[in-house]
């Protein structure tokens, strides 16, 4: 297994027909530790797949370098980088059997037939391709989507590479198969103790599978952290809104002095609406004292809004728009004087509250404040 180092990496596509050049990856720098499961996540066009393809050798590197185990691989062709890749569309060879698909790369490397048979059988057993039905002689068109993805995984496993690369492998699967395959990949990671680089646009996959996550946007890295660190301490508004489902609530407002001498957050509302006011604790007021009389953005996760309860004296009243019972919990969509927000609660007696007013207690100890201009999180 291996460390992977991405150093000052750029991918720039030259402009054509008068259009400006496109910077797909903008100065990416990060290191993936040996045996780590690193997820690159972000919306479409953020540069995550381009970064992965540069590691694989499928895209040329414009500037910067990539090292695997200390060895610079920029000029090394994909087949010699000792990596294996699992594609979004499986990329199985339609005219070859499952066995041949898995064995093909080993055949090209001159691995002896007995060794190929041993590796393929072992991977097939691990991935359930032998029981209940032996799928090894089938062609890909005779397999379901989930089976095809497992064959693609098997093709990567038999290579025994230094690093596994995954390019949105679950995107083409239905919801149930996605959950099953997700846990399968996590189990494989523990079993193989291998370095894995995984690209996805789905923040749920990122949160559940990663040791660490790289959040990307417009080619730039926004934050690199463990899943829960990203969740509780996002570096900026984008990360805060992207990670977590339902997304974090954002309220624009002003920090003003309260009568008690601490600071108070006053919601910004259109003319004629009444803002909610949320007094901050002494500690928080001291931390944000330099921001007095300035615009900030208050971020609160849906689970930190509590219906019909008062926490630390901070509360707001909002109109219920939609109630979504999910079974174990309920999502309540509300509107304040100036903002829409979501509350996540286990209280079930909230049915039939559409168009009615609801008081929400705000757990400001879990709040994150953002600079309204730079959108960066204000350090705590």
Partner 1 sequence: MNPTRSSVPWFSRVVLILLGVLFLLPFFWMVSTSLKPLNETMKLPPQWLPSSPQWNNYPDAMQAMGPFWLYARNSLLLAFLNVVGTVFSSAFVAYGFSRLDWRGRDGCFFVLLATMMIPFPVVMVPIYGLFRALGWIGTFQPLWVPAFLAGAFNVFLLRQFFLSIPRDLSEAARIDGCSEFRIFWQIILPLAKPALLTVALFQFMATWNDFLGPLIFLAREDQYTLALGLQALQGTISGTPWHHLMAASTLVLLPVLVLFFLTQRTFIRGIATTGLK
Binding mask 151-190 for partner 1 (x = CB under 8 A): ----x-----------------------------------
| Best CA proximity match to 203, nearest among 213, 195, 193 | 213
Q: Which of 82/371 has CB closer to partner 1? A: 82
The interface region with partner 1, picked from 18-26, 56-64, 181-189, 205-213 by CB under 8 A, is 56-64
Question: Could you tell me the strand order of the sheet in which 277-279 lies?
Answer: 277-279, 263-267, 249-257, 295-300, 368-371
Cβ 164 to partner 1 shortest distance, Å: 11
Cβ 85 to partner 1 shortest distance, Å: 5
CA distances from 117 to 105, 110, 111, 164 (A): 13, 13, 10, 21
Does residue 85 bind partner 1 (CB under 8 A)? yes
Q: Please pick, from the candidates 79, 117, 187, 357, the single residue that binds partner 1 as defined by CB under 8 A.
A: 79
Q: Which of 100/291 has CB closer to partner 1? A: 100
The interface region with partner 1, picked from 86-94, 242-250, 263-271, 352-360 by CB under 8 A, is 86-94
- Interacting residues with partner 1 between 100 and 139 (CB under 8 A): 104-105, 108-109
Is the link from the previous residue into 120 a cis peptide, with omega within 30 of 0?
Answer: no
- Interacting residues with partner 1 between 207 and 266 (CB under 8 A): none
The interface region with partner 1, picked from 89-97, 228-236, 291-299, 348-356 by CB under 8 A, is 89-97
Does residue 145 bind partner 1 (CB under 8 A)? no
Q: Which of 142/226 has CB closer to partner 1? A: 142
Cβ 78 to partner 1 shortest distance, Å: 5
Q: Which of 107/324 has CB closer to partner 1? A: 107
Instruction: Please give the Cα distance from 173 to 180 (Å, whole number).
Output: 10
Q: Which of 150/306 has CB closer to partner 1? A: 150
Q: Which of 85/213 has CB closer to partner 1? A: 85
Q: Please pick, from the candidates 93, 289, 310, 324, the single residue that binds partner 1 as defined by CB under 8 A.
A: 93
Does residue 89 bind partner 1 (CB under 8 A)? yes
Q: Which of 39/83 has CB closer to partner 1? A: 83
Does residue 58 bind partner 1 (CB under 8 A)? yes
- Interacting residues with partner 1 between 59 and 78 (CB under 8 A): 77-78
Its sign, for the CA torsion 123, 129, 135, 141, is: negative
- List contacts with partner 1 (CB under 8 A): 56-58, 77-79, 83-85, 87-95, 104-105, 108-109, 155
């Amino acid at each position: 297994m291996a460390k992977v180092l991405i150093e000052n990496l750029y991918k720039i596509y030259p402009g054509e027909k008068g259009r400006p050049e496109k910077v797909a990856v903008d100065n990416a720098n990060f290191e993936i530790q040996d045996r780590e499961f690193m997820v690159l996540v972000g919306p479409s066009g953020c540069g995550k797949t381009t970064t992965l393809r540069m590691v694989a050798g499928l895209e040329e590197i414009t500037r910067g370098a990539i090292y695997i185990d200390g060895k610079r691989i920029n000029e090394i062709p994909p087949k010699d980088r000792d990596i294996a890749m699992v594609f979004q569309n499986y990329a199985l060879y339609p005219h070859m059997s499952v066995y041949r698909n898995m064995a093909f790369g080993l055949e090209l490397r001159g691995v002896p037939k007995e060794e190929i048979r041993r590796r393929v059988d072992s991977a097939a057993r691990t991935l359930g391709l032998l029981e209940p039905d032996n799928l090894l002689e089938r062609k890909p068109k005779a397999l379901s989507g989930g089976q095809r993805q497992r064959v693609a995984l098997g093709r990567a496993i038999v290579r025994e590479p230094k690093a596994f690369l995954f390019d949105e492998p679950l995107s083409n699967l239905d919801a149930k198969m996605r959950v099953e395959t997700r846990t399968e990949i996590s189990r494989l990671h523990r079993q193989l103790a291998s370095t894995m680089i995984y690209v996805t646009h789905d923040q749920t996959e990122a949160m559940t599978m990663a040791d660490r996550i790289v959040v990307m946007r417009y080619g730039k890295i926004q934050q690199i952290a463990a899943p829960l660190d990203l969740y509780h301490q996002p570096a900026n508004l984008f990360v805060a809104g992207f990670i977590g489902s339902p997304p974090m609530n954002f309220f624009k407002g002003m920090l003003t002095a309260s009568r008690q001498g601490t600071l108070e957050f006053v919601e910004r509302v259109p003319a004629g609406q009444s803002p909610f006011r949320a007094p901050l604790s002494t500690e928080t007021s001291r931390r944000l004292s330099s921001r007095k009389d300035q615009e900030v953005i208050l971020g609160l996760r849906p689970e930190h809004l509590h219906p019909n309860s008062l926490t630390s004296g901070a509360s707001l009243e909002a109109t219920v728009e939609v109630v979504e019972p999910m079974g174990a919990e309920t999502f309540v969509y509300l509107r304040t004087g100036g903002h829409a927000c979501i509350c996540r609660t286990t209280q079930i007696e909230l049915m039939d509250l559409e168009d009615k007013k609801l008081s929400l207690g705000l757990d400001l100890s879990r709040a994150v404040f953002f600079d309204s201009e730079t959108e960066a999180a204000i350090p705590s």
